[in-house]
Structure 1
């Protein structure tokens, strides 16, 4: 049996195929203007790469933005629940999940089953999100994926004190004009984002182990700054951090299918 999860975010879309024991395949694309188009393309891609078709999917769950409008999904689940479920499946000791996406950031407390116990979310300010890093990257005339390595090469983080994206970008431009190195500015930017996220962590309580999911988790400069400001290590996941939401959706698909079968069996008896 094949269980599918599709996660349409603000910047990327992911699909995961799960066979009940392991991840069979996964795919990630840059989002299109329409959530349905993004979901269809990423699912078409992962099925083609696996040599499978939609008919091979036993059950599919969607998550993320526009999750209610994905016609090939039988059910939808919030991305908060999916990130918690996917993270604990990948790393069973995780109890706090930091999901830094393009449009918002979330801190999710989970139990040993990956079920959400508490969460807090920042969706009103770009600081602490991928959009914040994208803005800085544009100022540097770099791709956002290059910022992490740049920050790791910094030795003295630039003092960016503002947690507001607009003012932080202004600070960055001024520092460049004053001769600050891009490396130290990127280091400072990572610290700003980490402080913003840590303020969310403080609201739900810091419980180890901690992992980071979402595309920003691939930015090792941010991960280093987060570990420093929280004064605890961050557990590296054995799966691509960007597919954790889609993985969680696939796990929910598996669980929901099993529950439906059990209900049918009970009715038959």
Structure 2
């Protein structure tokens, strides 16, 4: 009888997107999956199960660890682990050295200091703060552009201050600027600078030799550039950094299987 390949699955159920990382039997990253979380984390977990089934991975026969905002909504997970632990472990695997992880999520921003590959300490922003990925999504919608276009406009604009700490009030500021005839380029620049300034201020609480950007903004080149400028140091990232939390969860799944023999 042919033996099925072993897999270890990490599922990061975020407020905006659900990310999945699958390790092969040797612990190498074999596959990533992404789907919107939508209204219900439970529904997102069902969609992930269907996607894994399509990929030939039976969640009933492999080790599964869940993390993120909706981690308790994954009924087939063998274990749930905190976001901080998983993001730290995932980043340590991706970047291979100690530093400070800057994870800009849809709901919050996490700053995690790594020492010897594990979490040393961390800070998080206020969930009402305008320093999250969801803030950029809302403002892009208000300007009738997507994230790529928002970044392109911002690069061409000059700063326009967005001062509100609350997303609702900041959106009102943007509406007022639009009504006053402020160019979209300038508003886009102000929006991104607002987010970057808040993230940088939080990250500055964890000074380190290197900064690693994870989360949904890791492929936004302009945001990476502006964050590095604010911090005064390079910010490393990579396409897989969006899956750092899921990767960390998958690494926990690998350990879980080893513990159980």
**Residues 1:210 and 2:214 aligned together:** no
**Residues 1:122 and 2:125 aligned together:** yes
Which residue pairs with 1:139 in the alignment? 142
Which residue pairs with 1:9 in the alignment? 14
Residues 145-184 of structure 1 correspond to what in structure 2 (within 5 A)?
A: 145-154=148-157, 156-184=158-186
Q: Deviations over 1:144-184 (max 9, x none)?
A: 45322332333x22233333333432332333334332222
Normalised by the size of structure 2, how large is the TM-score? 0.89
Distance 2:111 2:229 in 1: 17
**Residue pair 1:94, 1:210 contacting (<8 A) in 2 also:** no
Counterpart selection for 1:112 from 113, 116, 122? 116
Q: CA deviation at 1:136?
A: 1.0
Q: CA deviation at 1:29?
A: 0.5
Q: Deviations over 1:248-267 (max 9, x none)?
A: 10011112222333xxxxxx
Distance 1:122 1:107 in 2: 9
Which residue pairs with 1:74 in the alignment? 78
SS of the aligned residue for 2:236 comes to coil
Which residue pairs with 1:227 in the alignment? 228
| 4+ aligned runs moved over 4 Å, structure 1 | none
- CA-atom RMSD in angstroms: 2.0
Distance 1:33 1:175 in 2: 31
Q: Deviations over 1:115-151 (max 9, x none)?
A: 1111111143231112211221122022345322332
Q: Which runs of 5+ in 1 are unaligned?
A: 262-269
Structure (1/2) with the larger helix percentage = 1
Aligned residue pairs: how many?
255
Q: CA deviation at 1:73?
A: 0.8
Distance 1:34 1:212 in 2: 27
Which residue pairs with 1:244 in the alignment? 244
Distance 1:96 1:189 in 2: 24
Q: Deviations over 1:33-65 (max 9, x none)?
A: 2212212212321441x33333552x1100012
Distance 2:216 2:198 in 1: 17
SS of the aligned residue for 1:4 comes to strand
